[in-house]
Amino acid sequence: MSVFGKLFGGGGKGGKGPSPQEAIQKLRDTEEMLAKKQDFLEKKIDQELITAKKNGTKNKRAALQALKRKKRYEKQLTQIDGTLSTIEFQREALENANTNTEVLKNMGFAAKAMKAAHENMDIDKVDDLMQDITEQQELAQEISDAISKPVGFGEEFDEDELLAELDELEQEELDKNLLEIGGTEDVSLPNVPSTSLPTRPAKKKDEDEDDMEDLQRWAMEAM
């Protein structure tokens, strides 16, 4: 008989052991029972300590008996602490094992589902399908480009001819401007006035000559 069978009442050699969920629940129940036992022993220890203090001076024998019982309770409490640690470790290990089992089971289930999904797939057919998709996408792009290209309602023009015509128009405009500039050069200048410039009055000329003579005379005297 397995350990689980001995602990949790499994069947004989041909009996089926408990499931992980059942074993985990049993361990939790045991932990709860031992925790209650701990609370009970702690209260008993407190009571025996009170009894020992109460009879310490009046009844030494009763005080000693209380201390002995306290020691036994403390020993049981220590044993329960160790048992709880062992059960807790076993429960955590079983929970981890159960988790791993569920994870592996689900992974195996997913692997079978993927295998079934790929069962009717042929890699060559997949390649052909992807090639067809690529071709259709390229065709769709060409159609979009053709639709978006501006049209002249059936009229087609040679761009080189249009550029040549534009050059001719620019040359004509340039020649026209040059002709206009050349025409302005033939404009005749205004006639020279026929009348003579007015002459300075003779009196003014004589005064200037007198001033010049006075200046020369002053310079000679200064020397």
Secondary structure, 3-state, 23-57 = HHHHHHHHHHHHHHHHHHHHHHHHHHHHHHHHCCC
CA distances from 39 to 11, 106, 124, 130, 139 (A): 34, 42, 72, 71, 81
| Number of neighbours of residue 27 by Cβ within 10 angstroms | 19
- Residue in this structure with the two tokens 């701990």, named with its chain if needed: 38
- Residue in this structure with the two tokens 């009196």, named with its chain if needed: 203
- Residue in this structure with the two tokens 């020691």, named with its chain if needed: 71
Nearby residues of 94 by Cβ (< 8 Å), 6 or more positions away: 20, 23, 24, 27
Q: Mark the ranges of the chain whose per-residue pLDDT is less than 70.
A: 1-15, 150-157, 182-212, 214-223
- Residue 178: the pLDDT is 84
- Residue 1: the pLDDT is 46
- Residue 30: the pLDDT is 94
Locate the domains of the chain by residue range: 22-107
- Residue 4: the pLDDT is 45
CA gyration radius, the chain: 63
Q: Write the pLDDT tens digit of every residue in 101-138.
A: 889 999 998 998 888 888 877 888 888 888 889 999 99
- Out of 2.40.50.320, 1.10.287.1060, 1.10.10.10, 3.50.50.60, the CATH code matching 22-107 is 1.10.287.1060
Token pair for 20: 């992980």
CA–CA–CA angle 33, 36, 41 (5° rounding): 125
DSSP per position, 161-193: HHHHHHHHHHHHHHHHHHHHHHHHHTPPPPPPP
